Amino acid sequence: MMPFYALFDPTYILVIAGLLISMAASAYVNSTFRKYDKIQSRNNVTGTKAAQYILQKEQINDVGVQQIAGDLTDNYNSGNKILSLSEATAQSTSVAAIGVAAHECGHAVQDHTGYSPLKIRAAIVPVANFGSALSFPIILVGVLLSWNQTLINIGILAFSLALLFQLVTLPVEFNASRRALKILSDGNILTEEEVPMARKVLFAAALTYVAAALATFLQLLRLIILFGGNNRRD
């Protein structure tokens, strides 16, 4: 019988590390949102009203605002020009909800001004999704075909598109938050004391994207260690 340590794949440490990073980031954003979701804005503005105000101020007239189901499912779709706010954001007057709504408006402003990284991310999405879906089957086929390194490398390259998407996403998200905080600083939605609170919420949310990029990188690194180069298993 083989000893346990001989059966253990040490590269699983990379998977576990990525999982722990993602879990920590998710827990942090949830706790931060809950903390500032309890603080009601002095101007008593809902997330929906805040979004409508920001879009009007930025002279964006072709974007609609709608409420959708879920918790923190807020998003902006540049394809149909719809800004969707979750139930926890749309009708809430909390500092956290307004910060999230403003962040999504930041994406609408990016789209309106032709922000290049947003365009690049939109173009990468279908390619990244396709690559992620096919990467493991391609690698598996390569292994089954007498460790065909060409197919394996194609599979690894396909998975790397997911990391490329994550990396392009980072500047898009951070820039949207900066735009949101700049708009909120005018005092018509949040007070001077409330803006730093919204900044903490958006910073916590941004960390989830950093965590996702790190987790994807660790997965890619594991694939390279296991299947890249001359790691042929006889």
Distance (Å, rounded) from C-alpha 231 to C-alpha 12?
17
Place of tokens 């922000």: 115
Annotated active-site residue 193? The verdict is no
- Cα distance between the two ends of the chain: 20
- The single residue of 58, 87, 104, 192 carrying the catalytic annotation is 104
Place of tokens 């949102």: 33
Q: Please report which helix (H) or strand (E) contains residue 77, including its range.
A: strand 75-77
Q: Which residues pair with 77 in a beta bridge?
A: 82
Q: Which residues contact 187 (CB under 8 A, 6 or more apart)?
A: none
Residues with a known catalytic role:
104
